[in-house]
Homo-oligomer: A and B are copies of this chain.
Amino acid sequence: MVRIINTRIAKDVVLLQLQDDETRYFESLWEIPEGVTYNSYVVIGDGGAIVVDGWKIGFEGAFVNEIRSVVDLRDVKAVVVHHMEPDHSGSLRELLSSLSSDVKVFGHPLARDMIQSFYGIKPNLTAVSDGVAVGIAGKTLRFFHTPWLHWPETIVSVLDGSVLFSCDVFGSYGIPSTPFFEDLSPADQERFLWYAKKYFANIIGKYVDWVLKNLEKLSKVASLSNIEVVAPAHGPMHRGVKTMASLYSSWAGGDAEKGKVMVLYMSMYGFIEKAVNVLLDELQKLGAKVKVYRFLDKHRSPISDMLGDAIDAEALVIAVPTYDADMFPFATLLLHVITSKIPKNKKVFVVANFGWGPIAGRRVSEMLKAAGFNVVDVIEFRGGRIEESLQRLREGAAKLLHASKQ
């Protein structure tokens, strides 16, 4: 059941948070048993109010009602559209039809056509240029273009120099028990940093170069050190930008947790699993921190979590059976998301097997190499005959860790 939180998070900012534990697959892709929130903000100034972003498409009526509980809709002077993905922009048509006709909409120049094509409306859009400051309702919003975080039209804004509305940037999955990250228990803080990393890997991971560029730009021009509140569109707010900016810089830069190995394997009848178990034993002996994701006859790991653990692993193990003279079908999806969402500065050990003809090992390693990963070894064994590969499996484990420690 969805739940609505309506609470003041700063002197002049009210959080309208839709807590969604019904969506099973974020973007119809990413498993999120932890749920997700859509955070909208209402800024209240002397001269009226500003609505910042909105809720997922499908909750238009509830969203407008919630705004009404905070301000008289006639006092809303402006709507800010940081990002056009419909988990934030989905209420635009209903919202704008409830507001006075001269309400201004602020967004990236590219947002104009998108609003029209998404929702069939032509709003009174003020296309903001990068760095521009605008006075609205007695408040000042300064806008910054942050292209490809994670769409081309993405922008962020800073309210009176102190509140950063960052939209998807610095967002996370999960439904926090309290609005601010800093007010969560230490265990919950750890959990929400994991959700933020998982979200980053799933949603923003393809655009790590742009993360670095945009962070560099923002730190130069947006006086990030003066930011008191980071108000993203998903998950908890943060007091100050330091924690999240440093994590983003680290994730996007390909920093890895020392000794962390993400092991992904698919096994139909246990042969691949037998080889992976040898590797896992060896990795454990070598003190690696191993995260295992499995696609088996009774179990399927979440792809979303797999990416979350791949992004800061030092090395990956990818183990895939041959199937119908090709790689195991699920590997097409898994390799697609790994090669598009994960930094390429990782060593990968490929394990494959086959019944009557070796295919998967070559194909998987070709895909990984083409994407830029460093494939340190490919072991391809027939059936369950791992005996002659034991030495190479053990050496491979060592190679992954030692090579990555160089």
Q: Residues of A with Cβ closer than 8 Å to B?
A: 22-29, 56-58, 84-87, 90, 110, 113-114, 116-120, 150-153, 206, 266-271, 295-300, 323-324, 326, 328-330, 332-333, 336-337, 340, 355-356, 381-385, 387
The answer to whether B24 touches A298, judged by C-beta atoms less than 8 angstroms apart, is yes
Could you write out 7 A-B pairs with CB less than 8 Å apart? A25-B295, A28-B297, A84-B355, A110-B356, A114-B355, A118-B355, A150-B324
Given contacts A117-B382, A329-B333, A329-B340, 14 further A-B contacts (CB under 8 A): A27-B268, A28-B266, A28-B330, A29-B330, A87-B269, A113-B382, A117-B383, A118-B384, A118-B385, A120-B384, A151-B355, A152-B356, A153-B356, A324-B340
A351 → chain B closest CB, angstroms: 15
Tell which of B90, B297, B328 touches A269, judged by Cβ atoms closer than 8 Å. Answer: B90
A329 → chain B closest CB, angstroms: 5
Interfacial chain B residues near A85, Cβ < 8 Å? 269, 355
Given A58-B270, A86-B269, A298-B23 contact (CB < 8 Å): yes
- The CA-CA distance from A381 to B113 in the complex, in Å, is 13
- The CA-CA distance from A207 to B201 in the complex, in Å, is 38
The answer to whether B326 touches A340, judged by C-beta atoms less than 8 angstroms apart, is yes
- The CA-CA distance from A340 to B150 in the complex, in Å, is 33
The answer to whether B337 touches A24, judged by C-beta atoms less than 8 angstroms apart, is no
Given A206-B324, A329-B336, A57-B269 contact (CB < 8 Å): yes
A143 → chain B closest CB, angstroms: 19
Interfacial chain B residues near A90, Cβ < 8 Å? 269
